[in-house]
A and B are shown apart, each in its own frame.
Chain A
């Protein structure tokens, strides 16, 4: 690893594109690094809150359609391992066939500089998902030694090309010692739930009493789905103007009644608990079955943000226990 200042890192990267830094709110352009987890995850760099798919001009035979081309080059600095893992999980949905061209383009145009995490709190449980505060991911990874000095290393070819790594001196033994110490502390704080869920039992737990009780007090406000680094559901809508139509997609949430409401009036998730249940089951049953990986990264944002004080860890452990008891 190489020793440099955070300012040197950011300045060096600005030649690639606009630099977005982790702040309290999320990831903001030229922001000041917030030395804790951000409220919002960086998923919006690959799946924006609102995104144009195409614009259609004219009508009838003369109609012309122009595809959106998300070509802006950007650097995201300070994504934590849970954030980065979240993007890797989300990618499995968008880059499986048929590939989502917008997500793919944005991924090509975004450099991720991740920070090794010394900010673990009581709501962190990333270690349940094969990652941890010291997981190295992204194009470049760095560790904050203090408010200004960092040690960093490239992980991909792109990361190697972005900075003149040779001009920086190697990290000192002392730096490495400090890093290992801080990361070990964080590793101790982040919980490992020791999950052993039998995903194939999806039908057994769906609609079961254990779920009904566990998510009974959920308000279906959807806040968890928006701050979640892996929730990717989107809606598609047309915006009609005088001379053109924009087809957009925007974040949606399975917590909402109309999300699954059908034209006939039928709604398979009419009961509130079924909508809350879907989010948990998607992450802990469906995604493991689809892609062999949990759809949760243990970032704890849904716990931090929930107005009803709901803790996904409790639900998951209750459901796991229910299955274990039921199936001996």
Chain B
């Protein structure tokens, strides 16, 4: 048989550690380590297909930074068939992993610039990857501003790290929740108005916006008002996926496949594509 690298073939990986991110147990984080090879190199913003043989495969953004080489981290929202089964797996279980897939954030372009990260809810996974990467190579980037919003304090991901990042003086991190909440002393307000108030400068800056579609829709006008251009704002898209390598057809937006040409696009690119999201 001719030797070929089969892109459909999942590599064995072990779940090293799991923990719930939220008290409602809907968000669970998995630290996964390949069994037969090293953690692959990747770019922040890329994703993997995680296989549960007999149940199927689903795509998840990589939450670790390429600079954290011990394992791959995924935070999984319990929603469908595969994610529900995944949530039930005990530590030490073996899963299949394919990836890294997709393009990732244009980190090389970001170097030497100010970077504004705007995140909402559990979309913070690949934003964590990007942020940890930039903090690791801190001197390569100018000002880093992060605005992270969640419905309630419980729904923030990576709370311990957020607390550490808040202490840093080389990072401007603002956390906000939608409505007042007992014991919450930080910012209250939806992401778009809070961003407007923070008013990060568009000069030499790129913005990365990830979150629920409604948040993105109302955040974009704010960024434009602040002076950001569509070519300097990036987002990461999601759609139903199967193959993850641009073959099976279903995740297209116009002539682009989210799995292969994305998931990261600038709004300049998206402005030329049909509104098929």
A interface, CB within 8 angstroms of B? 53-54, 56, 59-61, 63, 65, 67, 69, 71, 93-94, 96, 98-101, 104-105, 199-200, 202-203, 206-207, 232-238, 240, 245, 247, 249, 252, 254, 259-264, 268-269, 274, 278, 281-282, 285-287, 289-290
Contacts and interface: CB of A to CB of B under 8 A. Distances in A.
Interface in B218-263: 238-240, 242-243, 245-250, 252, 254-255
B9 A259 contact: no
B248 A260 contact: no
B23 interface: no
Contacts of A262: 238-240
A15 to B, nearest CB: 22
Interface in B52-102: 53-58, 79-80, 83, 93-94
13 contacts: A54-B8, A63-B12, A63-B53, A98-B7, A206-B274, A207-B275, A233-B249, A234-B243, A234-B248, A252-B250, A254-B249, A259-B250, A281-B254
Nearest to A93: B247
A261 B240 contact: yes
Given A238-B56, A260-B240, A233 B248 contact: yes
A105 B2 CA distance: 9
Given A63-B12, A100-B247, A254-B249, A245 B6 contact: no
Contact of B248 (A65, A98, A235, A245): A235
B248 A249 contact: yes
A63 B36 CA distance: 12
Given A63-B53, A71-B1, A104-B4, 16 more contacts: A59-B94, A67-B6, A94-B247, A96-B246, A101-B5, A206-B276, A207-B274, A207-B275, A234-B247, A236-B8, A263-B80, A263-B83, A268-B239, A274-B276, A278-B276, A282-B252
A270 to B, nearest CB: 11
Contacts of A237: 56
Q: Chain A binding site: helix, strand, loop or mixed by DSSP?
A: mixed
A104 B7 CA distance: 13
Nearest to B272: A203
Contacts of B7: 98-101
A278 B273 CA distance: 13
Nearest to B213: A266
Q: Chain B binding site: helix, strand, loop or mixed by DSSP?
A: loop
Nearest to B3: A101
B223 to A, nearest CB: 21
Contacts of A264: 79
B107 interface: no
A19 to B, nearest CB: 24
B35 interface: yes
B255 A289 contact: yes
Contacts of A249: 248
Interface of B: 1-2, 4-10, 12, 35, 53-58, 79-80, 83, 93-94, 238-240, 242-243, 245-250, 252, 254-255, 271-277
A274 B275 CA distance: 11
Nearest to A262: B240
A199 B248 CA distance: 22
B56 A61 contact: no
A232 B137 CA distance: 43
A199 B12 CA distance: 42
A69 B7 CA distance: 14
Contacts of A63: 12, 53, 94
Nearest to B94: A60
Chain A CB within 10 A, most for which of B247, B250, B273: B247
A247 B51 CA distance: 10
A55 to B, nearest CB: 10
Contact of A54 (B9, B54, B240, B275): B9
Contacts of A278: 252, 276
A253 to B, nearest CB: 10
Contacts of B252: 278, 282, 286
Contacts of B10: 65
Contact of A235 (B35, B79, B242, B275): B242
B78 to A, nearest CB: 10
Contacts of A233: 248-250
Nearest to A61: B94
Nearest to A287: B255
Contact of B9 (A65, A96, A287): A65
A320 to B, nearest CB: 17
Contact of B249 (A203, A232, A263): A232
A263 to B, nearest CB: 4
A150 B216 CA distance: 64
A254 B255 contact: no
